[in-house]
């Protein structure tokens, strides 16, 4: 068994345990705190799941590093991604949904080695969607291989897009301008309230395109690998290469579709992670 096999087997079990915590607590009374804004929320479950994952991995692989949403927010430090094996964790992506008991919420975790994604897992334990990918080995939903739709025409695309948690006036303006620009050109728009799950919808062929500005590396690291292993593309929304630290992402079922979207979108450039 390779080292990556050992990492993968361990994290699968830990993510299942974390999913149990989400499932047990989604319908219970929650202690809710805010972070950067009144709509950027964190609960005790976010903190419990992140601690479970970090402690479980550290116990077996003490040299591994972490970029965790709650750990990073608490320390208020910038993200440092090195060549060391690094787990990038969003313990509850879609915390707003979790707070309201909406079932679109998930654990998102990725492993980077030498700054390259090797493992990606997105798990929605409420409706049992377990997305997995390993570099070069394909993407799966509940053990069954998945593939993007291969849609090439924006006019036939179902698009995932979000308002996000920032209420910065410029960010809100850009979101609304993009909504006005996109709606007349596509089949429809959808929002699950979770960047990671929106990306997985592209990976499984349930939607054809997603984009978002202002997210963080922990929102997109796992989804990026899952989309690419499902045959899709992840790029910068302006058309350049995907940069996990840029807080910008566009995923699509085809490069043709991605290119069409870049020609339409109004751009927004948040501070880097």
Q: Which residues are annotated as a binding site for Mg(2+)?
A: 69, 90, 93, 219
Tell me the C-alpha distance between 29 and 185, whole Å.
Answer: 42
Pick from 154, 178, 125: nearest CA to 12: 125
Residues found in the chain: 273
The set of residues, in sequence order, having a beta carbon less than 8 Å from that of 94 and lying 6+ positions away, is: 102, 104, 105, 106, 192, 193, 194, 196, 197
Pick from 93, 96, 79, 88: nearest CA to 40: 96
122's tokens: 């997105």
Please tell me what DSSP assigns to residue 184: G
Pick from 267, 231, 237: nearest CA to 250: 237
The set of residues, in sequence order, having a beta carbon less than 8 Å from that of 36 and lying 6+ positions away, is: 165, 166
The set of residues, in sequence order, having a beta carbon less than 8 Å from that of 229 and lying 6+ positions away, is: 120, 133, 134, 135, 136, 137, 138, 139, 203
Tell me the C-alpha distance between 118 and 53, whole Å.
Answer: 17
Known binding positions? 69, 90, 93, 219
């Amino acid at each position: 068994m390779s080292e990556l096999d050992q990492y993968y087997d361990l994290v699968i079990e830990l993510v299942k345990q974390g999913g149990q915590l989400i499932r047990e607590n989604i319908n219970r009374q929650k202690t809710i705190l805010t972070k950067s804004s009144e709509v950027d929320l964190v609960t005790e479950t976010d903190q419990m799941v992140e601690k479970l994952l970090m402690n479980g991995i550290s116990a077996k692989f003490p040299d591994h590093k972490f970029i965790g949403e709650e750990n990073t927010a608490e320390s208020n430090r910038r993200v440092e991604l090195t060549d060391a094996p690094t787990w990038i964790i969003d313990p509850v992506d879609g915390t707003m949904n979790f707070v309201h008991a909406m079932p679109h919420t998930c654990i998102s975790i990725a492993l980077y080695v030498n700054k390259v994604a090797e493992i990606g897992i997105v798990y929605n334990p409420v409706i049992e969607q377990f997305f997995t990918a390993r570099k070069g080995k394909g993407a799966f939903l509940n053990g069954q291989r998945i593939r993007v739709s291969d849609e090439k025409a924006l006019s036939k695309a179902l698009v995932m897009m979000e308002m996000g948690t920032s209420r910065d006036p410029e960010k809100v303006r850009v979101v609304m301008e993009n909504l006005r620009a996109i709606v007349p050109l596509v089949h429809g728009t959808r929002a699950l309230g979770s960047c990671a799950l929106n990306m997985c919808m592209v990976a499984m062929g349930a939607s054809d395109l997603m984009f978002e500005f202002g997210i963080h590396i922990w929102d997109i690291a796992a989804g990026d690998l899952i989309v690419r292993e499902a045959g899709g593309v992840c790029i910068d929304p302006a058309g350049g290469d995907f940069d996990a630290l840029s807080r910008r992402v566009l995923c699509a079922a085809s490069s043709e579709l991605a290119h069409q979207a870049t020609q339409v979108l109004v751009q927004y450039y948040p501070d880097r992670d």
